[in-house]
Amino acid sequence: MLNPMKIKDYVTLGNIMGGLAAMVAVVEGNLDWACGFMLIAWIFDSFDGVVARLTGGGNKFGEVFDNVADLVAYSLAPTFIIYLAYHTPRDLGGAGWPVWAAAALAFIPTVVGCIRFTRNNVKDVIMPEFHMGLPRTVYALYIATLFTSHVFHNPWVNHPTGNTLLYALGAVFIVVTSFLVLTLRPYFAKPKRGALGWVIFCTVWFLSTSVAGFVAGLILSDLRIFIDVLFVNFSLYTWFQHMSIPDYKLREAKRYVEQLIREWKREMG
């Protein structure tokens, strides 16, 4: 049997297993564990590139496999999380939506993920310094941390008005962030010049605040503090990082998108 897997791909497999474990946790009715397993999937996802560089790089199989892993962990798993959050009865802290309504909302991440996966395989959407569209990693963890943070774990959730309002706003949040995944809006990935210092600052900020939140959660016996910090950091990246991109880079991204759209129309009709 021909084994196409390289060492890097076994790390990617950890990403898939983390996503599947999150789904199992949802089936067992535990959103907190689901979020935890998605964070584990993210850790594997973050290190597969490092392993690839240390072991001589990857190949085309690895590239496609990585995309498949992202589809599982960052599209399918959020669907399960949203469904549980919205179908769980109100007296248990959920939205109490009927099956059809909870499912309709929950299907959005998988539909969006499939569209982006297909689009990016039909036509390379690559601009070296940017992710084009909100990265699926951020999108999925943004959703997971929202529903496991103190935003949805506070006394107001148990109040009928508070429950209805919070989950209604949560549904709007899901729709809007899902739209960002399908856009060609630039998000910093690996800048080569200009904004490199700013990105280094943001990376240090993310790591330091995350570690501080985790330590505070351990000390206070409330790891939701750690989740709160992650949720805030994902919020900053999603909504405000665009402001940190220099104008000339925005113009480069705009020209690239215009060219991409022209090629798509010419090739796809």
Within a domain: residue 237? no
Q: pLDDT for 129-187, tens place per residue?
A: 888 899 999 999 999 999 999 999 888 777 777 788 999 999 999 999 999 999 999 98
Domains of the chain: total: 1
For the domain that residue 16 is a member of, what is the CATH number? 1.20.120.1760
- The pLDDT, as a whole number, for residue 133 is 92
- The pLDDT, as a whole number, for residue 122 is 85
Which residues in the chain belong to E strands, given as ranges?
130-132, 186-188
- Which residue range(s) make up the domain with 41? 7-191
Give the residue ranges of the chain where pLDDT is below 70.
1-2, 57-58, 191-196, 269
- The pLDDT, as a whole number, for residue 154 is 84
Within a domain: residue 144? yes
- The pLDDT, as a whole number, for residue 48 is 80
Within a domain: residue 200? no
Within a domain: residue 244? no
> Which residue from 68, 15, 63, 59 is spatially nearest to 39, judged by alpha carbons?
15
Within a domain: residue 130? yes
> Which residue from 220, 203, 202, 84 is spatially nearest to 150, judged by alpha carbons?
220
Within a domain: residue 218? no
Within a domain: residue 210? no
Please report, for residues 197, 199, 211, the alpha-carbon distance to residue 244 in angstroms, rounded to integers and kept in the order given.
11, 9, 24
